[in-house]
A and B are shown apart, each in its own frame.
Chain A
């Protein structure tokens, strides 16, 4: 009997919500061994190995097929896997972990409300400052794809590891692409989302790696877990 590996976020709200969601589906997830360890199991499904892994590493593991199933945000999948459509199967949307990836500019830019307006200001900005407007983000690929789809190319990406919302006020970038749930942090940092600036409405998903080694047994397990989650009441 071949075994199925399922990766669950290793910390924070996403881990709690995942565990709760699985419990409502009748899938009781438990840690194995030490409470601070990173391995677990599902009650009644002895052929499933649970691995606790950080969300971004789950995207990576799905991409290379070192796990069969994983739970992570769609934002990380779209950002980190250029051919997500072929490599990843979206099994089930989980109804939590909502986050929008958005383009936000300083609220004082009252002359800019769309990407087309950004395009209008890019050339005058370059004339004055000698460079294109900078976009701070950790979502380099989503940003590029989104702006390319709008025909906008006059900008430079500045990679941001954290506290992206602070970049415009700090003067290290002119605008940002980041995730937001309520918009509160953006407002607190004097930023506003562009009218057409929602790049992706993301939520946590149960995902299957199409490049992992699948057998009829692991396929059946995947279907079983997916069906149970689909039938489970939402929080």
Chain B
């Protein structure tokens, strides 16, 4: 739905004002970042996959710009422009239009122009408290407008890393599994390959050349690669120097020498990714996995339990909260907690609000280090549709 009649426009305006009043009362400063943003930041941060969903254009001076596909990145840029130290604590709220191309065609639940109202908070040391606060405020705002039948779904990308830690695997396997986890469609296959001990590379580099490479002697390794290129009349072209090619080959060789992923670690990881259900039951299942693991540690579990306790303290009914280990894997820039608020009437493809932790985003937008960041945005047209659906 776009506000093409006065009635729709006014309904959305009134709703946005209520949302903003909840946010500002909770101590979030109202800001209005620019709609037109440099395309670079978005494409670098979120990658080319989002370009396909973003309205990118060139202005008469040749600068590559875009209509903001969300308001989170613009809020980060606004924060960076204001503060020399990006870790300066701050809380912002906003309302306004964002724009996304809908490859399947735009419809009422997936418009190409939609209004978001959201909050972002930066630089909080108390991580779970900040996360619970954001979730509680969003739900409070939605309830204030009269929507009572919400459910909350949680995921946690950081928890996966913790599970890898307790599985007792090498740093190299941890990195590869962390990367593989973000690709749900190929993850099971990757687990199988990793445990089989089969080589994961199909390079046609001669074994003798690989064997001659040594991370302790980079100069000699580079010479060996250069000689191989010469002997095969392959010209070194492009921007990627010999050193980079050699470095990567050394890495390939070393991971080839490494023992395969232990079967019990793979099984543990597999069982974790299957966890899905009521948040409290899921917590018990995670505890069972962690306690039975080789390098058992309760740090990750404490984070999980503390978050639930904080949510309960903030008045969130935990019976309406579910957890899914898989959730959040393909979502843009999140690094830890992810969540979505759903309404019964709208279905799982159209969450009312989404949010989470994104500690890496500020660095991608220009800061020189990660900054603790957590936020959420409400899809206001969907909220209005859910409210009108409930009323009719």
Contact = CB atoms under 8 A, between A and B. Distances in A.
Interface string A145-176: 10110010111110000000000110100100
A106 B47 contact: no
Given A121-B244, A129-B239, A113 B204 contact: yes
Nearest to A123: B179
Interface in B48-104: 48-49, 51-52, 103-104
Given A108-B229, A111-B248, A144 B240 contact: no
A83 B186 CA distance: 26
A171 B240 CA distance: 9
Interface string B190-202: 0000000000111
Interface string B224-268: 010011000011111110001101110110000000000000000
B171 interface: no
B389 interface: no
Give the interface centre of B47, B225, B238 by most chain A CB atoms within 10 Å: B238
B275 interface: no
Contact of B237 (A117, A148, A151, A168): A168
A148 B244 contact: no
A114 to B, nearest CB: 6
Interface string B342-355: 00000000000000
Given A151-B186, A169-B238, A114 B202 contact: yes
11 contacts: A106-B238, A107-B235, A108-B236, A109-B240, A111-B248, A121-B244, A124-B247, A144-B51, A157-B48, A171-B238, A174-B240
Interface of B: 43-44, 47-49, 51-52, 103-105, 179, 182-183, 185-186, 200-205, 225, 228-229, 234-240, 244-245, 247-249, 251-252
Interface of A: 82-83, 106-114, 116-117, 119-121, 124-125, 128-129, 131-132, 141, 143-145, 147-148, 151, 153-157, 168-169, 171, 174, 190, 195
